[in-house]
Structure 1
Amino acid sequence: MRAEPGLVYMVTGGSGFLGRHLVRLLAEREQDITEIRVFDPNADPDLGSLNTEKLQVKFIQGNIVDAASVLEAARGVDLIIHTAGLVDVWMKHPSKRIWAVNYQGTQNVLAVCKELGIRYLLYTSSMEVVGPNIKGKHFIRGNEDTNYRIYHEGAYVQSKAAAEKLVLSANGMRVAGGKTLVTCSLRPTGIYGEGNPIMAKVYQTITNFGGRRLRLAGKGVEHARVYVGNVAWMHVLAARALQQTPTIVGGEVYFCYDDSPYLCYEDFDMLLLGPVGVQLSGRTPLPYWALYLLALLSEGLHFLMRPLARKEIIFNRYNLAVITTTFTVRTDKAARHFGYSPLVPWAQSWVRTLDWVQTLAGTHVG
């Protein structure tokens, strides 16, 4: 099944980690799209190679918090995939900036849809709008309908949750031309894959500490991970479904999933970092109270140093709660609603990511 010919897509954050994979996949798979607009503050020169006689990939430099630039970029667009967002797992950015990008930016996108009569909006959310929660309550093989007590803490999680609520509540909203807006939201679990800036930072930090990583998660803790190429593929299929079956997907949320193994963050990352020499210290973690005090100390030092330099808090209480709380997903909602199945199997996802990690390390493991 194909969308109508001659469609123009806009991908906000299209030069980012997920955005780059998504734009490339749209160019490869969606033959009826004639133009993809990459709206991002930063250009990705590699995306220019995707241009063909039938497809134009156009980079538009702009900031999602600038309503006027979003409006100009979206003129003539049929569908927006809104991936732009400020991820702040290490508390580097001020709350005001995070809310501006994640919430106000989404308000700007919705306003543009209304003014220009754009009918389709796909939002990239996060599993963290659900959890893991900071109370340590596990989410085990849950799905989109699982009853789970949500505790939002921190500007990133709160702003993403509020933005998703905006998008979903806008489903069915009247837009210019007497049309109605159709929206849905995708919630990736922990995304990994080549080009992941978080994994690059983790590897750099571990290397600075002699190549050893402290075990934090206890026995039995597991997390859902999903390969970036499969997240991008789900976006491609969801974008089709918004147009073809709006009464099914409109106003819905979907976890992004594939066949990546359920492991704690440390053990999963060791599948990729172990071959380049990273070692995991300890079979069992320190007591939780000790880890909590270390995280609190890390935050305190960061607070004292903040007037001198704004640096990430690599180890903080929120990250500790996420790492030590199980969050795994088992659902087939995306398969039932728009035919999703993973495009890239786990073995290939692992090889692709490992090849990239080896470039970071300057090695190749044959």
Structure 2
Amino acid sequence: MAGPAEAQKLVYLVTGGCGFLGEHVVRMLLQQEPQLCELRVFDLHLSPWLEELKTGTQNVIEACVQSGTRYLVYTSSMEALGPNAKGHPFYRGNEDTPYEVVHKHPYPCSKALAEKLVLEANGRKVCGGLPLVTCALRPTGIYGEGHQIMRDFYHQGLRLGGRLFRAIPASVEHGRVYVGNVAWMHVLAARELRQQAALLGGQVYFCYDQSPYLSYEDFNMEFLGPCGVRLVGTHPLLPYWVLLILAVFNALLQWLLRPLLLYAPLLNPYTLAMANTTFTVSTNKAQRHFGYKPLFSWEESRTRTIHWVQAMESASVAHPSRS
């Protein structure tokens, strides 16, 4: 997300503005940015592979330089840091907590490289001679209205008679953040980047709220449970090695089918390792630097997400062939 320097006439460009987070950022700007003069939305469905994402980020930086756009807020991810490929836990860490970054999967590799490009571009001269000011936001696992993975889990539960089977130990914790609060942090960061360039420029911020630390499955049940889906088992019903075999099989099948069709299984070696590794953040850096506080409480975030799932439930009843 980028915006020019004039404080009284702000023009925002939201790249990926038609995606899950992008749509929420667009709505948040329309609702919460009183100095907004013009809002431009750009979206292009690119392949998620490493070089294309890296090139896309470099193109955004070059566009800022050539057009004289001085402020760039990059949507990174906690996955730019971890969980790493070695499965090291990250427990209530912050931006300064030491952690070995070891990635093999294209998505975290691309996020880490793109984030590096954005932060290194801070201070680069743009058209007109003034410096580019950049920062990066690292959301933890995002949830909320429009979340495709939660939609997939819900429909899977319906197909299994209202049941999902536990695959991850309940002791594994993850930090999750409501999409509305992620969008709100973007608006605040873009606003304060203009006012406090020396403080925010070149910085990275974890993006989270007061959502509880739970395993992915237990967290999802906070929303799916009230909608008639129950989680079966207090312990994983299948041992890890069986899940790993299935994950590797899915990855192989995805590779074989890639020339013919897009096959994106929920379970693959990367998602299995990530789900089985504790990764939680606890930091107030964003609050200290630009006054971030969640706009939506956990109770409101939960209620909004439940209502969205219930709307899917109503649509499934009205159109059973779509489930």
In structure 2, the residue matched to 1:14 is: 17
In structure 2, the residue matched to 1:259 is: 210
Secondary structure of the corresponding residue to residue 362 of structure 1? helix
Judging changes above 3 Å, is the alpha-carbon distance between structure 1 residues 121 and 288 closer, same or farther for their aligned structure 2 residues?
Answer: same
In structure 1, the residue matched to 2:250 is: 298
CA shift for structure 1 position 304:
4.7
In structure 2, the residue matched to 1:44 is: none
CA contact (8 A) 2:170 2:218 kept: no
2:151 paired with 1:200? yes
Match runs of 1:1-366 below 5 Å: 4-41=7-44, 95=49, 99-100=51-52, 102-285=53-236, 286-306=238-258, 308-362=260-314
Number of aligned residue pairs: 311
CA contact (8 A) 1:216 1:320 kept: no
- Deviation by residue 1:330-354 (Cα, 9 ceiling, x = unmatched): 0000000000111000000000000
CA contact (8 A) 1:184 1:251 kept: yes
* Structure 1 gap ranges (5+): 42-62, 64-85, 87-92
Q: State the TM-score, normalizing by the size of structure 2.
A: 0.91
CA shift for structure 1 position 109:
0.7
CA shift for structure 1 position 231:
0.5
* Structure 2 gap ranges (5+): 1-5, 317-323
Supply the AA of the counterpart residue of 2:42.
F
CA shift for structure 1 position 215:
1.4
Q: Distance in 2 between matches of 1:134 and 1:195?
A: 29
CA contact (8 A) 1:99 1:155 kept: no
- Deviation by residue 1:84-122 (Cα, 9 ceiling, x = unmatched): xx6xxxxxx573xx531x211111111111111111111
In structure 1, the residue matched to 2:320 is: none
CA contact (8 A) 1:144 1:255 kept: yes
Identity of aligned residues (%): 56
Secondary structure of the corresponding residue to residue 73 of structure 2? strand
Q: Distance in 1 between matches of 2:179 and 2:167?
A: 25
Q: State the TM-score, normalizing by the size of structure 1.
A: 0.81
CA contact (8 A) 1:171 1:181 kept: yes
Q: Distance in 2 between matches of 1:39 and 1:245?
A: 27
Q: Distance in 2 between matches of 1:13 and 1:143?
A: 27
- 4+ residue runs over 4 A deviation: 303-308
RMSD: 2.0
Q: Distance in 2 between matches of 1:162 and 1:308?
A: 29
Judging changes above 3 Å, is the alpha-carbon distance between structure 1 residues 303 and 181 closer, same or farther for their aligned structure 2 residues?
Answer: closer
Q: Distance in 1 between matches of 2:7 and 2:253?
A: 56
